[in-house]
Amino acid sequence: MLADMRSVVEQFKRLDRVLSIKREVDPVDEIPSLMREAEKRAKIILFEKVKGSAFPLINNLLGSMDLLAEVFQTKREGVVREWVARVREPVEPRITDWGPVKEVLRRGEDVDLRDLPVVTHALKDAGPYITAGIVIAKDPDTGIRNVSVHRMQLKGKNNLGIRIVPNQHLGRIQDKYEKSGKDMEVAVAIGNHPFETLAAATSLSFGIDEFTISGALRREPVDLVKCDTVDLEVPVTAEIVLEGKVLAGVREKEGPFGDFMQFYVPPMDNHVLRVTAMTHRHDAIYQTIQSGSVEDIHCLALSREAKIYEAVRNTGEIQALHMAPTLFNCAIAIRKRFEGEPRDVATEAFRAYSWLKHCVVVDHDVDVFDPKDVLWALATRAKFHPGLLLIKDTTGFPRDPFHLHASKLAIDATAPMNQWGEFERKTVRNAGVMRLEDYL
């Protein structure tokens, strides 16, 4: 088990999956477009010198299925199954006395968030945004911890605007504090092992600590250490931690921001986070995630894919499934046993995850991780009439003023039964065995 983010990065370096940029680069004009280039190459990118900051910057840690599979030590097809198997047994976190994240402590006036290499991601973003922080808070009634990911706009030395969707768990917890006139203490861990980030991006039932899920993914307890200025605990392995309070009764303009759909969300009156301390490793690496990127969608999708997988695995013989390039569509590869089965599978998928807008069911020889391959199946094997299933007047993604998510489409893109002779895909001898590099 690779314990922290930096050991994952080291492992990916050995696999030649890390692009290291040694020259100084600008976090507004250069970094965002270079991150896009790294994403296209399915590589992690490490900026060793960022203008205006002493911290190096890492991005695209989970920017391809191969990288994600490496973290789970399985193949791409196996990631969802691994998730399902591991989260079955939650593991409680463990409190320890000290951890590397405590190597440097800055409090009060010594805190200056502008020291961090916070990136301005999109052209019309309101400013620099922290996007890879996992936010830790406790329910004031039960003391149970909640961990979730939230975008934070850098607004000054110790000030952040934070987007907390009202019905999500952090929103419910903040509401409780606010109703009793109290600020909500939070800690924000940045530069996390992917399991902590994936668990934080998972929607569990209210009252379940997401660290029990990262513990399950790790197959060992997450080690936590107490904060200095708030009554919370953070992973010892994080690179950087911000401690602070979400102010009760205070809202300020936050945004615009290019979000996970790649659209700009307009400025909104959102919460304010006042930072009281920052702790970090001596040589801390700051992490960022581009919203709407492959990495962002992987963080959000994996637990949703697992939900769909658990729902459909008794309906069809599932080979693989994947949501890409958005959270709203899913391709599912099956070994079809009867006509109509793809429809049943898609219907179950819609039931399992309400934000799903279209679902394409393909044969087992189609690569669901390659949207081009899914389009190939649509063009060559799908029969649109009859074959399409349109579900009207239903519920989907809730932020939907134009009712674009109120209907769903299932597409059977599998070959007709018992016609494999006509629809068998050609292959070449030794496909996947020969390595081009050996011939160069």
Ligand X SMILES: Cc1cc2nc3c(=O)[nH]c(=O)nc-3n(C[C@H](O)[C@H](O)[C@H](O)COP(=O)(O)O)c2cc1C
Binding site for ligand X (CB under 6 A): 131, 146, 148-151, 163-165, 168-170, 201-204, 289, 291, 296, 299-300
Tokens of 269: 């009156």
Considering the complex, state which of residue 127 and residue 387 has its C-beta at the smaller distance from ligand X.
127
Nearer to ligand X, 196 or 367 (CB): 196
Shortest distance, position 148 Cβ to ligand X, whole Å: 3
**CA 294 to each of CA 72, 80, 270, 297: distance values in angstroms, whole numbers, following the listed order:** 17, 16, 27, 5
Provide the minimum distance between the beta carbon of 24 and ligand X in the complex, in angstroms, as a whole number: 26
- Comparing CB distances to ligand X, the nearer of 380 and 395 is 395
Task: Report phi then psi at 432, rounded to 5.
Answer: 80, -5
C-alpha–C-alpha distance, residues 118 and 114, integer Å: 8
| DSSP secondary structure of 42-58 | T-EEEES-BTT-SS-EE
CB of 87 to ligand X, least distance (A): 14
Instruction: Tell the smallest beta-carbon distance from residue 346 to ligand X (Å).
Output: 24
Q: How far is the CB of 293 from ligand X (least distance, A)?
A: 9
370 tagged catalytic: no
**Could you say which of 259, 365, 370, 373 is catalytic?**
259
Question: How far is it, in rounded angstroms, from Cα 214 to Cα 221?
Answer: 8
- Asked if residue 79 lies in contact with residue 302, where contact means CB atoms within 8 angstroms, the answer is yes
Measured from the CB atom, the residue of 59 and 329 that comes closer to ligand X is 59
Both structure tokens of 384: 């649109």
Q: How many helices and strands, by DSSP H and E, does the chain display?
A: 11, 23
Please, what is the minimum distance in Å from the beta carbon of residue 323 to ligand X?
A: 13
Among 316, 403, 402, 422, smallest CA distance to 359 is for: 316
C-beta neighbour count of 252 within 10 angstroms: 15
- Lookup: tokens for 211: 């660290």
Nearer to ligand X, 38 or 204 (CB): 204
Q: Which is nearer to ligand X, 288 or 315 (CB)?
A: 288
- Helix (H) / strand (E) element for 422: namely helix 420-423
What DSSP string describes 154-172? EEETTEEEE---TTSHHHH
The span from the CA of 230 to the CA of 343, in Å, is 51
Catalytic residue annotation? 259
